[in-house]
Structures are given as C-alpha cells and as structure tokens.
C-alpha cells in the first residue's frame, strides 16, 4: 500500500482551482441571464407601448375623420380654402398609414416576445415591473461593478489562474511516498506478522525543464486573467455610465413631455368650455383634441423608453434580474 504524503499540495490547489472555474461558469451563466432579461424587457415594453399607441392612434384617426367632415362643411360654406381641406385629407391618409404600420409592428413585437420567453402552456409570468423603477445614485465606481456577474466571473477566473500557478510551482517539490508491505499468509504456512515500511523520495532533477515550462505557462495564464479582469471592469464601467446617462436623459425628456401633455390637456379643457359657451368653433375643438392625443402619444413613448433605460441601468449594476441562489 502506497501513501502519497506531499501530493496533497497538488491535489489541494487542483481542488481550489476547479472550484474557482465552477464559479466562473456559474457567474457567466448569470451574466447571460441578465442580457436575456434585458432583451425580454425591451420586447415586453415594446408590446405594451404599441398597444397603447394603437388605441390612441385609433382615437386620433377618428378625430381626423371628423375634422375632415367639418372642413368640408366649412369649405361648402366658403369659409376655408381648398388648400385647407386638402391638407386635412393628407393628414387623414398619414394617420391611417401610421395606424396600419403600428398594428404590423405589434404583431412582429408579439412574435419576438413569444420566441424569447418560449411560451408554452399558460406562457411565462414575467417579473418585469410595469412602472418606472428608481435608480440608485451616488454609487462609487467599485460599488457599481461589484454585483456584475461578468466582473465576478473574471475575478474567479483570476483566482483559478493563481491556484494553477501554485500547482505548477509545486512541481519542483520532491515526491514523498510511504510504501507499506505486508504478506498475506497462505494455507498451511506460518504467517509472517512483519510489516515492511519504505519511505520513497523522488526529486525532480531531470524534469526541472518541464516543470519550469509549466510555471511559465501558468504565469502567462495569470497575466491573461489579470488583463481580462481589467478589461471586463472597463467595459462594465462604460456600460454603467452609458445606462446611467441614458436614464437621466430619458427622465428629463419624460418630464418635458409630461409638461407638454399637461399644457395640451389644460388647453383642451379651455377649448371645451369655450365650445360650450359658443366662443370656440367645432373645428378649433377638434384640432385641440388631436393636439392633446399627439402629446399623449409622445409622452407614452418617452415613458416606456425611460422605463427601459432604468431596467438597463439596474441590469448594468447587477441589481436585476433577481436570481435565486
């Protein structure tokens, strides 16, 4: 029976390196799940946005149709020119074209979402917030990338390279083996109770070149792992910066579109009051209603873009998706 005494050093470093590599693969899979989550969120918000826009565009098309009817009445009375009527008819044609295009986009978006989530029986329940989420602010650079799974994977890869280097250096150590010999007695023979033990020490003199080459290779792998970690951090920091700036910009745009919508709504209320008192014409009221719908459509587009940007930032810093350990 042979008992390797110093082989435990090599076995231990191999065990630790394999554990680090397992963590690398696990965190790489988690990182890819975040990319998929972001892609699904984009498709999901696209579907929600198109559904709302189609409803608003249908209302707008109906208003434009009523506007044409009113302009035709006014044209017959000689109160507007032919150019005014032609412009309204062109607006109606554009509105119908936009509506058909949005319906086509919705079908494509629903197909894209279905292919992403792999809808089977009952489909898939999406854990994607419908409302805009708040984004963390005043985070230090290291705090921003601390939860990113690609950075964690790169750190674990560096650990594995360090353990492999230790394993390679361990090749210079002598191999110490304790050999035990015991003879099993045969039938009708006097048993020998002696146990012979032999300590065997093998010094790697002639294989030093091979070991040194292994060390050089492990050192090269370690440098590559360090460069990979540095590059991963740079890419992560750049993505976080872009996502954060996009979130701030879309928040500003959403605020501006909200003000524009509120102004259009206030103007529409005034026009309705004026129409009830016969101080505002029906044409002016229809134009105000159309203008309000235009502002509402612009606001909903900005809303969903901002929602997606906040999701992007949360994914970029590793806050989303919430994965079970």
Structure tokens at 305: 């873009």
Q: Tokens 């006097």 appear where?
A: 190
CA distance 198 to 252: 80
Q: What is the residue range of 198's domain?
A: 2-142+150-184+193-241
Domain assignment present for 57 = yes
pTM, 2 dp: 0.81
231-246: average pLDDT: 94
81-101: average pLDDT: 91
CATH number at residue 112: 1.20.1600.10
Domain assignment present for 198 = yes
**Residue 77 is inside which H or E element, if any?**
none
pLDDT tens, position by position, 30-68: 999 999 999 999 999 999 999 999 999 999 999 999 999
CA-based nearest residue to 201, from 168, 164, 173: 173
Q: Tokens 């792998």 appear where?
A: 221
SS3 176: strand
Domain assignment present for 256 = no
Query: Looking at per-residue confidence, does 184 or 102 come out higher?
Result: 102
Domain assignment present for 38 = yes
Confidence of residue 124 (pLDDT cuts 50, 70, 90): very low
DSSP state of 277: T
What does the mean pLDDT of the chain come to?
Answer: 86
Query: Looking at per-residue confidence, does 217 or 180 come out higher?
Result: 217
pLDDT tens, position by position, 135-145: 666 666 677 89
CA distance 250 to 306: 5
Residue 177, beta-bridge partner list = 4, 200
Domain assignment present for 294 = no
CB contact at 8 A, 89 and 79: no
CA distance 310 to 74: 49
**Does the pLDDT of residue 130 top 70, yes or no?**
no
Structure tokens at 135: 């984004």
Domain assignment present for 63 = yes
Structure tokens at 222: 């370690």
**Does the pLDDT of residue 100 top 70, yes or no?**
yes
- Phi-psi sector, 276: left (phi>0), alpha (psi -120 to 50), beta: alpha
Report the share of the chain in percent with pLDDT over 90: 65
CB contact at 8 A, 91 and 83: no
Confidence of residue 120 (pLDDT cuts 50, 70, 90): very low
pLDDT of residue 122: 45
Domain assignment present for 28 = yes
Neighbours of 224 (CB within 10 A): 13
Domain assignment present for 308 = no
Residue 201, beta-bridge partner list = 176
**Residue 202 is inside which H or E element, if any?**
strand 195-202
CA distance 22 to 229: 17
What is the count of structural domains for the chain? 1
CA distance 72 to 41: 46
Identify the burial level of 72 via C-beta atoms within 10 angstroms of its C-beta, where 0-12 means exposed, 13-18 middle and 19 or more buried: middle
162-188: average pLDDT: 73
CA distance 8 to 15: 10
SS3 141: helix
**Does the pLDDT of residue 202 top 60, yes or no?**
yes
Task: Give the angle subtended at the CA of 218 by the CAs of 215 and 219, to the nearest 5°.
Answer: 85
């Amino acid at each position: 029976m042979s008992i390797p005494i110093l082989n435990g050093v090599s076995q231990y470093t191999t065990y630790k390196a394999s554990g680090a590599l397992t963590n690398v693969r696990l965190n790489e899979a988690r990182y890819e799940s975040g990319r998929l989550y972001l892609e699904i969120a984009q498709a999901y918000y696209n579907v929600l946005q198109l559904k709302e826009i189609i409803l608003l565009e249908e209302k707008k098309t109906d208003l434009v149709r009523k506007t044409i009817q009113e302009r035709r009445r006014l044209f017959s009375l000689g109160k507007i020119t032919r150019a005014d009527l032609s412009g309204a008819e062109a607006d109606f044609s554009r509105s119908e074209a936009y509506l058909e295009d949005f319906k086509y986009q919705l079908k494509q978006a629903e197909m894209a979402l279905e292919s992403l989530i792999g809808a089977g029986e009952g489909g898939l329940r999406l854990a994607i917030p419908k409302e805009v989420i708040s984004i963390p602010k005043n985070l230090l650079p290291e705090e921003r990338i601390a939860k990113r799974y690609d950075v964690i994977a790169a750190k674990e890869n560096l650990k594995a390279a360090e353990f492999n280097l230790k394993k390679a250096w361990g090749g210079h150590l002598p191999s110490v083996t304790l050999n035990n010999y015991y003879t099993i007695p045969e039938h009708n023979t006097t048993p020998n109770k002696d146990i012979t033990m032999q300590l065997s020490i093998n010094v790697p003199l002639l294989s030093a070149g091979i070991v040194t080459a292994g060390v050089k290779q492990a050192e090269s792998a370690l440098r590559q792992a360090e460069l990979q970690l540095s590059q991963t951090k740079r890419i992560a920091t750049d993505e976080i910066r872009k996502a954060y700036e996009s979130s701030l910009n879309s928040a500003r745009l959403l605020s501006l579109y909200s003000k524009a919508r509120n102004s259009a709504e206030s103007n529409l209320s005034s026009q309705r009051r004026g129409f009830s008192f016969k101080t505002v014409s029906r044409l002016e009221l229809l134009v105000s209603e159309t203008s309000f719908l235009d502002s509402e459509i612009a606001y909903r587009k900005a809303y969903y873009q901002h929602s997606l940007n906040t999701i992007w930032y949360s994914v970029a810093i590793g806050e989303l998706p919430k994965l079970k350990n």
